């Protein structure tokens, strides 16, 4: 019996593009080859491993997007070549979006972008642990990005 139809169903459930789904399946199969002596039920093990790979796929993609957003916002705020009107428009869009995110996120984003603090400095100044600040940044940048999209802000 072939595992491929079940694998396609799993990757389709997680909305993984077909070519990426094939890559995830190959990774799961390679891992299986290394651990096959320890696996009792190969099909169940492969299904579980593929599901985990699908979750990791989207987490990695989301982090990558948020890192790009973080970098883009910092670059736009510091960009010298903008006209005065472009700067005003950018600030208005960002301020509108910031007003619509939760207060906790607003404080964190203002410390990071307006005050120019590093993530660890932001954590210290707001009383958070440095180890958890990146997850919080991720959530806050997600909120900011969705607000910018909703209000028709610039693609950042």
Outline which parts of the chain fall under CATH 1.10.10.10: 79-150
Q: How far is CA 51 from CA 43, 65, 130, in A?
A: 12, 22, 30
CATH architecture of 79-150: Orthogonal Bundle (1.10)
First to last CA, the chain: 47
pLDDT tens-place string over residues 98-132: 888 899 988 988 888 778 888 889 899 999 988 88
pTM for this structure?
Answer: 0.49
For 45, the token pair is 């093990």
Q: What is the pLDDT of residue 137?
A: 83
pLDDT tens-place string over residues 28-84: 999 999 999 999 999 999 999 999 999 998 888 876 666 666 666 656 655 566 677
């Amino acid at each position: 019996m072939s595992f491929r139809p079940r694998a396609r169903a799993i990757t389709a459930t997680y909305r993984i593009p077909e070519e990426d789904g094939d890559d995830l399946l190959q990774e799961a199969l390679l891992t299986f080859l290394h651990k096959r002596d320890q696996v009792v039920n190969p099909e169940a093990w492969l299904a579980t491993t593929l599901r985990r790979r699908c979750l990791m796929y989207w987490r990695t993609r989301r982090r990558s997007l948020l890192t790009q957003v973080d970098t883009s916002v910092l670059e736009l705020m510091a960009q010298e070549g903008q006209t005065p009107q472009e700067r005003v428009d950018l600030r208005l869009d960002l301020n509108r979006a910031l007003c619509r995110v939760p207060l906790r996120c607003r404080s964190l984003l203002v410390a990071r972008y307006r005050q120019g603090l590093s993530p660890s400095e932001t954590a210290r100044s707001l009383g958070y642990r440095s180890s958890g600040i990146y997850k919080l940044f991720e959530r806050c940048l997600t909120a900011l990005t969705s607000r910018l999209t909703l209000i028709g802000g610039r693609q950042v």
